[in-house]
Structure 1
Amino acid sequence: MRLGLIGYPLDHSLSPAMHNRALREVGLLGEYLLLPTPPEALAGRMAEVRAGFWGVNVTVPHKEAVLPYLDGLSPEARAIGAVNTIVREGEKLIGHNTDAPGFLRGLEEAGLLFEPALVLGAGGAGRAVAYALKGRGLDVYVWNRTPGRARALAEEMGLREAPLEFAREARLLVNATRVGLMDPEATPLPPDLLPREGGVVDLVYRPLWTRLLREARARGLRVQHGLYMLVYQGALAFRLWTGREAPVAAMFQAACEALSEPICP
């Protein structure tokens, strides 16, 4: 069973550690590989997937770009307009989105379903988060550094576009951008714009405790790091590929070990 992750760059990814542990835990022979794929190589990579993989995950910058190479989409992936999981069914490649339900599971477990919610980012991850929150009936706003993208997403999903300053009024703030990835001093939000109450979620997981989360926690806000969404979306993908329930605890443990985090999540 050949599985993998398509994206670029991929040096930060914990997915191989997580999924290879899962395969061993359930007794399946197989391997999960990193498949670094710059944009100009996407067509060739998708041909390789079609020829020799059971399925793959998809991450930035390809969650939307991969759509033309697929033979079908799940209803959720079609509604979100982005794919993070591909399953080969016979000769067909079917796109799914496990980001949305994976994100929602972590949020529900932590009791962080506050509103109004502000999503930072209108890319593939931001689209999935906005879709998930909207589906739970929350009042959702979206911001993007390119206002046109935020406006388009808001119109498409029935959300509202907001300036970054709206973060003060939000009771749930979700960073769905890459700001902070591999840079512990980078943050998408100045400290004076943090919500006055509620919670902050950062989808970045390397570092686990980003500057955004550290500053939010210091303000007394409830926080959640990106490992929850990573593991829960991965568990759903694993079930789609294998038909087996994913060993979630083992996947968390493998991810924490790869991060060298002694206490996790």
Structure 2
Amino acid sequence: MKDRIDGHTILIGLMAYPIRHSMSPTMHNSAFAKLGLNNAYLAFEIDNKKLPGAINAIRTLGMRGSNISMPNKQKVIPLLDKLDPVAELIGAVNTVVNDDGVLTGYTTDGTGFMKSLADEGVDIGGQKMTLAGAGGAGTAIGIQAALDGVKDISVFNIHDQTWENAERMVKIINDKTNCQAKLFDLAEKKTFKAEIAGSMIYCDATGVGMKPLADKTLVSDPSWFRPEMIVFDTVYAPRTTKLMRVAQQAGVKHVLNGLGMMLEQGAEAFKLWTGKDMPIDYIRELLFKE
């Protein structure tokens, strides 16, 4: 890094809270170095309160842009100048691009999720998915999966500030795609179990499983899962979450964490900032080896 940074280096950020666990700085800085690009990527612990000032700093400092993660993916929208059509549809942003002071919001989470499944040789087209969580990542995953051919989605969410967003997501899926979606209260455990039992894929897009909830899981009983299904946890720190251990106990063939999704969504963001393809095989080997 010290050999690359000079007076012409352009900064790209990551704004979230908490964020010190993130592998995105390693991923992007390694890709910049591999391609000889004069950029640097840094993580900033930014919550909702600090977000307006941080977004304004993108313009003030001439940053190329920033990734946006929890809890800011929806709160950032009013602070931007424009939205990509997919981000507008999903109602969440995880990537901001600065073009001469004009900030445009994109979302790459959904495509990252679907590409990470494809990387594992998994096709969920025409299948049913149960999805827990309707925050920024969950919304992107649900809508992108519907756009890409998933037949049915059962969404489970708690009655908190994201419930209204969950209702919006389900309505968009039903109105604008060929997928049928239903929304359930996560407190309805019998229904939760039954919907998972009828699904080809269960995806947890909540923060359960990462710090400070690293010892928690929404599904603790291995009998809820079948060996032929897919269990996907968007958390990647720790690499093996409690949910994943439960799925492994059930003999599930495809038990995936969020590392592949993080890699693929990062590659999409990388191209938005640089116009170049991330050296994804090189980065995959680096990240998965670590």
Q: How many angstroms does 1:193 deviate by?
A: 6.1
Which deviates the most, 219-228 or 80-89? Answer: 219-228
2-structure distance, mates of 1:94, 1:194: 42
Q: Provide the residue aligned with 1:92 in structure 2.
A: 102
Question: Quick one: percent identity of the two aligned structures?
Answer: 34
SS at match of 1:56: strand
* Larger CA deviation: 162-171 vs 97-106: 162-171
User: 1:119 offset after TM fit, Å?
Assistant: 0.8
Within-5 A mapping of 1:181-220? 181-182=210-211, 184-192=214-222, 194-196=224-226, 197-220=228-251
> In 2, Cα distance between the equivalents of 1:65 and 1:73?
13
Q: Which position in structure 2 is the counterpart of 1:151?
A: 167
1:74-223 alignment to 2 at 5 Å?
74-114=84-124, 115-138=127-150, 139-146=152-159, 148-149=163-164, 150-158=166-174, 159-162=181-184, 163-165=191-193, 166-182=195-211, 184-192=214-222, 194-196=224-226, 197-221=228-252, 222-223=254-255
SS at 1:118's partner residue? strand
Deviation at 1:214, TM superposition (A): 1.8
Deviations 1:132-156 (A, max 9, x none): 1101221111111227343342123
Aligned residues: 258
* Cα deviation 1:114-166 (Å, max 9, x = unaligned): 32101110000000110111012211111112273433421232221144222
Whole-angstrom distance in 2 between the partners of 1:97 and 1:42? 18
Structure 2: distance between partners of 1:144 and 1:198: 21
Give the letter for the 1:164 counterpart.
F
Whether 1:43 aligns to 2:52 is: yes
CA separation in 1, counterparts of 2:133 and 2:192? 11
Structure-2 residue corresponding to 1:70:
80
* Residue 60 (str. 1) matches residue 70 (str. 2): yes
In structure 1, C-alpha distance between the alignment counterparts of 2:224 and 2:23, rounded to whole Å = 29
State whether residues 138 and 206 of structure 2, in contact with CA within 8 Å, keep that contact through their aligned partners in structure 1.
Answer: yes
Report if aligned partners of 1:76, 1:97 keep a CA contact under 8 Å in 2: yes
- Contact 2:208/2:214 (8 A) holds in 1: no
> TM-score normalised to the size of structure 2?
0.84
Corresponding residue of 1:232: 264
Q: Deviation at 1:102? A: 1.1
* CA contact 1:77–1:83 (8 Å) conserved in 2: yes
Q: How far did 1:192 drift?
A: 4.8
SS for the counterpart of 2:49 is helix
Greater Rg over alpha carbons, structure: 2
The alpha carbon displacement at 1:13 in A equals: 0.8
**Structure 2: which 5+ residue stretches go unaligned?**
1-9, 175-180, 185-190
Q: Is the 8 A contact 2:82 2:103 kept in 1?
A: yes
Deviant stretches of 4+, over 4 Å: none
**Stretches of structure 1 lacking an aligned partner (at least 5 in a row):** none
Greater shift after overlay, 177-186 or 41-50?
Answer: 177-186
CA contact (8 A) 1:4 1:34 kept: yes
Per the TM alignment, residue 253 of structure 1 is displaced from its structure 2 partner at its CA by 3.6
Q: Distance in 2 between matches of 1:15 and 1:41?
A: 21
Matches of 2:286 and 2:12, distance apart in 1: 17
- Do 1:239 and 1:245's aligned partners in 2 also have CA atoms closer than 8 Å? yes
TM-score by length of 1: 0.91
Q: Is the 8 A contact 2:209 2:235 kept in 1?
A: yes
Give the CA RMSD over aligned residues: 1.7
